[in-house]
Amino acid sequence: RLNTKTTEPPCTPGGWPIVGHAPGLIGDSCKLWDVINDLANKSYDIGGVVSASIGPRTVYIVTDPDDSFTVVNTCLEKDGFYDFAKPWLGEGLVTGKYSIWKNHRKFLNPAFSQILLDTFMGVFNSQSRKLVKDLEKEVGKGLFDHWTYTRHNALETICLTALGVDFTDTNLNSQYVEATEQILGTIVERFMKFWWHSPYTFAWSKLKKKQDALLKTLHNMSYTVLQKRKSEFNGNICAERSIIPGTKFKAFMDLLLELSVEKGVFNDREIREHVDTMIVGGHDTSANVLMFTMILLGSHPEAQEKVYAEIQEVLGGDRDVEKTDLSKMVYLEAVLKESMRVFTIVPVLARKLDKDVKLKNYTLSAGRTCFLFVFGLHKHPVWGPDVNEFKPERWLEPGRLPDNPNAFAAFSVGRRQCIGKAYALMSMKTTLAHLIRSYRIKADHTKVRLKIDVMLKPDSGHCVSIERRT
Ligand code: HEM
């Protein structure tokens, strides 16, 4: 397929008549990861922007940090591929239409203010201690699937903090974790099978039936949260609900209920969609970063010992992490950022181009899809010759970082960036501080085979082992 405009980015080779590059997507989610990695590597030599076609639609792929920044700031509408997740997340913040998102984000931002997040430190600490305790049974037993532990723990944490419900150790928790993994799998499977992209063909597929069954489990959780909190809210309608007395700050769920019950801003469906979005956005992400960070620290003992030394210096004995400790854990923060660079857990974002977008060397045409390969930004040659190595130190020497700060976009950049970034960093630092002072981790990151299930994941578990620190 020839590009019609000379300012169009070059077309990636290997397209077929009519179906374009779509056959290359067919396979499993490990193969898909290999295909898009290969595409990113090839894009660097030709300016970091390429086009491809999936059936009749032309899509762009951007791996250049400057151009990627231009796209996210120019076009705020999520691409039609996000509609694959709409039966689950509706018009919640991740998948929502721009016209809805811009108001809802404004309403919800206060639930993530620092003053409010600080009040979660108690839960972050108790949940971290719980994780340490849960892991005790794996000490000295060889390789095990640590991801199961981080996911359950992170799900409980988001429920206890933002949503204000305690689902600790309930069946609902396990069913939800399982259903989340499976539904993300169905979304990727639909993407790979281009004949199911249309809602009309998809409606007849077995995959749609599977998705509908999973949605029952997932929505059951959000409805349970909603009903539980709504009845508490109604029974207590006149009481002072602000979490920090004397301030207007309210945790996410209290804010949602206030905006719907008292102010009529959200209807029941909208609240449910925000709750669903917050549950998945708030747990699967941090749990994955923790899982990959444990693998990387287990594979780099010298970095792990530096983290341990820093924790000992900042915390001294076995006390809880306090909010003022977090900013002192400088090396740990570098480890987390480097981990998110090396294993970019949200590897691809997609925007709908609602206008022509002029980049450094090309112009992208309105109406098309633009895939932002965030993992491609993170492996771009601007990071230097050691781009493929895990080197937390690069974050501590500003001269070693790319000139463009947007070359790091693990939480996305611009107005639609992650609302939970500060929450995530606080909870992950607290968890790692407790974990690393209790256990020595061993792993080999070179053995991990990756797959893309919307998020980046290892194809199989059992990647780490732990020993108690004496
Ligand atoms: C290390 C952990 C996390 C990572 C790497 C991460 C990454 C991201 C990324 C890349 C986006 C943009 C998605 C897109 O444009 O399609 C995003 C959006 C979002 N994240 Fe996170 N996230 C993390 C943790 C969290 C947490 C803890 C929460 C909630 C407590 C959260 C809630 C959200 C929400 C609601 C959005 C949509 C924001 C909007 O469009 O207004 N995330 N996140």
Residue 143, Cβ neighbours under 10 Å: how many?
16
Q: Structurally, how many domains does the chain consist of? A: 1
Straight-line distance from the first to the last Cα atom of the chain, in angstroms, rounded to the nearest whole number = 63
Task: Please choose, from the candidates 292, 303, 427, the residue with its C-alpha nearest in 3D space to the C-alpha of residue 346.
Answer: 292
Task: Please choose, from the candidates 62, 82, 81, the residue with its C-alpha nearest in 3D space to the C-alpha of residue 70.
Answer: 62
**Tokens read off for 162:** 């933002």
Domain assignment present for residue 77? The answer is yes
Please provide the DSSP assignment of 454-466 as one string: SEEEESS---EEE
Instruction: List pocket residues of ligand 1, CB cut-off 6 Å.
Output: 93-94, 105, 158, 162, 277-278, 281-282, 285-286, 289, 340, 345-346, 349, 410-412, 416, 418-420, 423-424
pLDDT greater at residue 398 or residue 287: 287
Instruction: Give me the chain's average pLDDT, please.
Output: 92
Residue 331, pLDDT > 60, answer yes
Separation of alpha carbons 97 and 63, rounded Å? 25
Q: How far is the CA of 140 from the centre of ligand 1 (A)?
A: 35
Interface predicted TM-score of the whole assembly (ipTM), two decimals? 0.99
Domain assignment present for residue 72? The answer is yes
Domain assignment present for residue 393? The answer is yes
Query: Closest ligand 1 atom, CA of 252?
Result: 30
Per residue in 160-219, pLDDT (tens digit) is 999 988 888 677 788 888 999 999 999 999 999 999 999 999 999 999 999 999 999 999
Q: How far is the CA of 333 from the centre of ligand 1 (A)?
A: 18
Domain assignment present for residue 341? The answer is yes
pLDDT greater at residue 3 or residue 102: 102
> Which residues lie closer than 8 Å to 330 by C-beta, 6 or more apart?
310, 396
Exposed/middle/buried for residue 329 (C-beta within 10 Å: 0-12, 13-18, 19+):
buried
pLDDT mean over 269-295: 95
11 is in an annotated binding site: no
pLDDT of residue 201: 96
Q: At 1, is the pLDDT very low, low, confident or very high (cuts 50, 70, 90)?
A: very low
Separation of alpha carbons 130 and 338, rounded Å? 26
pLDDT greater at residue 248 or residue 161: 161
Exposed/middle/buried for residue 379 (C-beta within 10 Å: 0-12, 13-18, 19+):
buried
Task: Please choose, from the candidates 380, 395, 283, the residue with its C-alpha nearest in 3D space to the C-alpha of residue 339.
Answer: 395
Separation of alpha carbons 271 and 226, rounded Å? 8
Separation of alpha carbons 7 and 292, rounded Å? 40
Provide the residue range defining the domain that includes 60: 22-468
Q: At 281, is the pLDDT very low, low, confident or very high (cuts 50, 70, 90)?
A: very high
Contact by Cβ (8 Å): 441, 464: yes
Separation of alpha carbons 253 and 91, rounded Å? 17
The alpha carbon of 211 is separated from its chain's Cα centroid by a whole number of angstroms, namely 21
Find the angle CA(445)-CA(451)-CA(456) to the nearest 5 degrees: 80
> Which residues lie closer than 8 Å to 31 by C-beta, 6 or more apart?
none
Residue 318, pLDDT > 60, answer yes
Residue 440 pairs in a beta bridge with: 467
Residue 245, pLDDT > 60, answer no
Task: Please choose, from the candidates 244, 246, 241, the residue with its C-alpha nearest in 3D space to the C-alpha of residue 256.
Answer: 241
- The 3-state DSSP composition of the chain as helix, strand, coil percent (nearest 5) reads 60, 10, 30
Q: How far is the CA of 348 from the centre of ligand 1 (A)?
A: 13
Domain assignment present for residue 54? The answer is yes
Domain assignment present for residue 1? The answer is no
Query: Closest ligand 1 atom, CA of 112?
Result: 30
The answer to pTM > 0.80 is: yes
Tell me, what CATH number does 236's domain have? 1.10.630.10
Write phi, then psi, for 436 (nearest 5 degrees).
Answer: -70, -30
Write phi, then psi, for 284 (nearest 5 degrees).
Answer: -65, -30
Residue 142, Cβ neighbours under 10 Å: how many?
10
Mutate to test the pocket of ligand 1, among 84, 255, 289, 418 (most ligand atoms within 8 A of CB): 418
Query: Closest ligand 1 atom, CA of 277?
Result: 35
Q: How far is the CA of 357 from the centre of ligand 1 (A)?
A: 25
Per residue in 427-466, pLDDT (tens digit) is 999 999 999 999 999 999 999 999 999 999 999 888 899 9
Domain assignment present for residue 425? The answer is yes
